[in-house]
Amino acid sequence: MGRIDEEGRIVQMSPLHQLTYGETDGTRSARILALDSVMQGVGFDARLSDAILLDMWEKWVFLASLGAVTCLMRGSIGDVAAAGGKAVALAIVAECAAIAHAAGYAPRPAFLTETRAQLTADGSPMTSSLYRDLNQGHAVEADQIIGDLIARARASATPTPLLEAVGVALKLYENRRAKAEPTDPRAFSGEVDTGSRKENATTL
């Protein structure tokens, strides 16, 4: 995971640095084996996958779940857990996993067990880049991470009320940002200055 600092630099926030790759049909072709050979010993974890599409879907489920949990409830995973939000977090994971299942890429049990544990961990400081960008008043990847997933849910008639709520809230944020384009992130954090006094506005 990473973030962009005040000077526009990418800052790595965890020791995780894995790149997974593979042929979409799962075969071990000459070209993918050649790539795998080149990737060894390059300074990060390189893994050749025989199920790269499933790996990609699982990553999407995790990113969307983490982003939805932290943006909907406006806090870190530990904050959400402390406020009694574990059941909501698990419900969001279930919605995202159901979309993947409907698309033909049911997440593996081990992945779901790990994801549920990570997104309900007591005291965890983990947040998402979506949440951090939102808090700082930056542009957010709402359509890419959440919106596309919602579109697939609708196409497969998969009910996702929590994800829909997150999608609407993010769209409201984007609409306000497009109109105002402020430099002060407080314009989207719930605090607005009316001139005579400050008021709290209901935002994502």
Tokens of 41: 């010993």
pLDDT value for 8: 75
List the domain boundaries for the chain: 18-50, 53-200
Please tell me the distance from the alpha carbon of residue 199 to that of residue 187, in angstroms, as a whole number.
Answer: 11
Beta bridge partners of 43: none
Beta bridge partners of 19: 46
pLDDT value for 3: 60
Please tell me the distance from the alpha carbon of residue 32 to that of residue 44, in angstroms, as a whole number.
Answer: 18
Per-residue pLDDT of the chain (204 residues; tens, 9 = 90+): 556 667 777 666 555 678 899 999 999 999 999 999 999 887 788 999 999 999 999 999 999 999 999 999 999 999 999 999 999 999 999 999 999 999 999 999 999 999 999 999 999 999 998 999 898 888 899 999 999 999 999 999 999 999 999 999 999 999 999 888 654 555 445 444 444 444 444 333
Element (DSSP H or E) covering residue 173: helix 161-180
Residue 138's φ and ψ, nearest 5 degrees, are -85, 170
pLDDT value for 182: 53
Domain 53-200 top-level CATH class:
mainly alpha
User: Structure pTM?
Assistant: 0.81
Distances 78 to 8, 70, 74 between C-alpha atoms, Å? 28, 10, 11
